[in-house]
Amino acid sequence: MAIKSYIEAVTDALAEEMERDPSIFILGEDVGVRGGVFRATAGLIEKFGEDRVMDSPLSESAIVGVSIGAAMVGMRPVAEIQFADFIFPAYNQIVSEAARIRYRTKSDWTVPMTIRAPYGGGVHGALYHSQSIEALFMNVPGIKIVMPSTPYDVKGLLKASIRDNDPVLFFEHKRCYRLIKGEVPEGDYTIEIGKADVKREGTDVTVITYGLMVHYTLEAAEALEKEGISVHVLDLRTIKPLDREAILEATRKTGKVLIVHEHGKFGGVGGEISAIISEEALFELDAPIGRLAGPDVPAMPYSPPQEKFYMLNPTKIADAIRKLAEF
Amino acid sequence: MSKLNYKEMGLTDEQVLDMYYYMLLARKIDERFWLLNRAGKIPFVISCQGQEAAQVGAAYAMDTAIDYLAPYYRDLGCVLVFGQTAEDIMMSAFAKPGDPNSNGRQMPGHFGGKKYRTLTGSSPVTTQFPHAVGAALAAKMRGEKSVVYTSTGEGSSNQGDFHEACNFAAVHKLPVVFYVENNGYAISVPLDKQLGNHNTADRAVGYGFPGFSIDGNDVLEVYQTMKTAVDRARNGEGPTLIEARTYRLVPHSSDDDDRAYRSREEVAEAKTKDPLITFAQYLRDHGVLTPEKEQEMNDRIMRDVNEGTEKAEKAPFFAPEDTLTHVYEE
């Protein structure tokens, strides 16, 4: 099996899907000749031409709105928003349109569209090139939100997203793009959307997380093993729909749960997971559910010490796990 | 009254009568809405009255077999030309199964329906503009000859999606016609407070495609201009922006009272230019709309509106639990 980077897995999935289905096309800023500002679409315009790897005007609402229109009449667009932070001009198109078109027509019209967007901090991206925005979409029924952590998951989940007949937000952690490498099978496979994955088996504390934080948690778990603390790591992979069964199973495994995510705590993904556990597995718990998240400030500053202060890291995660283990 | 000669435009007697039929059908359905609303039978009405010529003339210039509509909420005249019936519309007004627009899920006027080649619309305005561009892009990519019509009011023309869609379509020379029904009011806000330049068609220059501001009360002028735009689009020459100057003869909706913001004199003056009246007179003057034909058309329309109303009123609602279906693919 080949070792690929996270971003190579994105490119491979796109190329293979476009090869397979001529109704798939890519629409976004700089996705063509430049191959994307992160190079996620590198080489695709050469392979598929400028009609299928289309540079759009700098116009996010049009990128999504045009994709919705094309999807309704039978195309399968993969829109790219250059940074997740810039998705808000298209928020109305995603929330009021894409998410509701199936519902408001009882499936007469549907939107088989994927929106890819790089998110996340730790790249000196400051307030507008660092955000995690999943919480802002999480309570919007009608869309799916996929946030993979490994190259293997990226490829399988991106293929599944493109083939899905509902709109999918596919958020890629930009710090993972070149940092994270892993085994990726050649050829076709998909991973079911909505299924979490146990990334490490353990018996003392369960950590439920996703994205870059999976890797930081695995690092923390490695360190804690030497202290005799065994950590169970559940990678959600999909934020919407949440894998309730996997969350409950992981809870029962240790009776102590820490939820870790990069964005702020208030109104975040962790609150929902915590509520699910409280509603359905309260008596399995041996300690209060912990949430480790970014601070509730608008976004992370450019100043390096402040960015570092904002971001979680393996040490902060290990500290939180240790506290829970000792409870 | 129109100064155009329909025969010189290549239209037959049957075609101009057909256009009048759709205008009258739209008007009669709309009038019935208000009666039903005031009788407490339907919760909401949004009207096309006064804009029927602007709508029917535009839709009539399209090919209902291959083209698409992405209309705005007043475009009853357009969707009738594309095949919706009085019964369809009444099912929508009563929110009953069989409503092709939304199966009773959306308020009336939120048109849609795959079998009528009408993309689904919502309430946040002008979001349909980029959708129309997307459908046009798909047509171009697949080498199909479809043209897409999308419309909005002059107030809604100020949304960002208007600009983003026009520019996108211009860049790729897409087969789409952008259509503004300028009726002078965005609910209560008049042109003076809505537009720095009252002629929205002037914007076309900025996008690099043609723009026309036309008399929306003249169904023949509308048809002629729209035909030019549709032909251009079909020939791969790109988009056109058309502004139809028109007037909304009734309040914005059943929940609005227009006496708060415009004089009765102004409305009375507009009614003298009501396109239903002026086009009927035109057709009578040309000997096309004979008293017999007029009677026959009226009878047919009233029968359809009555039957549609009765069926819709009697039809059962969806079960309450139907609320939970069709969120995702099932």
Specify the CATH number for the domain of residue B83: 3.40.50.970
pLDDT score recorded for residue A1: 84
Whether A108 and A153 share a structural domain: yes
Residue A60 belongs to a domain: yes
Whether A178 and A221 share a structural domain: no
If you measure CA to CA, which chain B residue comes closest to A70? B134
Q: What's the structural domain count of chain A?
A: 2
Among A140, A160, A184, residue at a domain's last position: A184
Mean pLDDT for the stretch of residues B77-99: 98
Residue A145 belongs to a domain: yes
Residues 163-192 of B with CB under 8 A from A: 164-165, 167-168, 171
Whether A66 and A145 share a structural domain: yes
Whether A201 and A180 share a structural domain: no
Among A155, A184, A213, residue at a domain's last position: A184
Q: What's the structural domain count of chain B?
A: 1
Whether A61 and A117 share a structural domain: yes
Helix (H) or strand (E) holding A48: helix A44-48
Q: What is the ipTM of this complex?
A: 0.97
Whether A147 and A234 share a structural domain: no
pLDDT band for position B1 (cuts 50, 70, 90): confident
Burial class (CB in 10 A: 0-12, 13-18, 19+), A139: exposed
CB within 8 Å: A72 and B131: yes
Whether A108 and A227 share a structural domain: no
Among A157, A184, A211, residue at a domain's last position: A184
CB within 8 Å: B120 and A101: yes
pLDDT score recorded for residue B300: 98
Instruction: Write out pLDDT tens, residues B158-180.
Output: 999 999 999 999 999 999 999 99
* Structural domain of B151: 13-314
**Tokens encoding B1:** 């009254």
Whether A117 and A245 share a structural domain: no
Residue B254 belongs to a domain: yes
Any CB–CB contact under 8 A between A139 and chain B?
A: no
* Structural domain of A207: 197-326
Instruction: Write out pLDDT tens, residues B317-327.
Output: 999 999 999 99
Any CB–CB contact under 8 A between A94 and chain B?
A: no
- Which residues of chain A lie closer than 8 angstroms to B133, CB-CB? 62, 65-66, 69
Q: Who among A62, A108, A109 is closest to B130 (CB)?
A: A62
Whether A52 and A117 share a structural domain: yes
Active-site residue, B261 included? yes
Residue B37 belongs to a domain: yes
- CA A41 – CA A35 distance, rounded (Å): 5
Residue B4 belongs to a domain: no
Q: Who among A68, A89, A107 is closest to B326 (CB)?
A: A107
CB within 8 Å: B161 and A68: no
- Which residues of chain A lie closer than 8 angstroms to B139, CB-CB? 73
Whether A151 and A220 share a structural domain: no
Asked if the model's pLDDT at residue B84 lies above 90, the reply is yes
Contact A143, A173 (CB under 8 A): no
Mean pLDDT estimate for chain B: 97
Block means of pLDDT (10 residues each) for chain A, 327 residues, are 96 98 98 97 98 98 98 98 98 98 98 98 96 97 98 98 98 98 96 98 98 98 98 98 98 98 97 98 97 96 97 98 97
Asked if the model's pLDDT at residue B126 lies above 90, the reply is yes
Nearest Cα neighbor of A179 from A200, A198, A151, A147 is A151
- Which residues of chain B lie closer than 8 angstroms to A62, CB-CB? 130, 133, 161, 164-165, 167-168
Residue B265 belongs to a domain: yes
User: Could you tell me where the beta strands, DSSP code E, fall in chain A?
Assistant: 2-5, 24-28, 53-55, 76-80, 114-119, 144-146, 168-173, 181-184, 197-200, 205-209, 231-235, 238-240, 257-264, 290-294
**What pTM, to 2 d.p., does this model score?**
0.98
- CA A55 – CA A68 distance, rounded (Å): 17
Longest dimension (CA), chain A: 59
Residue A192 belongs to a domain: no
Instruction: Write out pLDDT tens, residues B37-77.
Output: 999 999 999 999 999 999 999 999 999 999 999 999 999 99
Active-site residue, B163 included? no
Name the amino acid, one letter, at B294.
Answer: E
Q: Who among B130, B141, B326 is closest to A65 (CB)?
A: B130
- Kindly list the catalytic residues of A: 129
Contact A208, A252 (CB under 8 A): no
Whether A221 and A271 share a structural domain: yes
Whether A301 and A170 share a structural domain: no
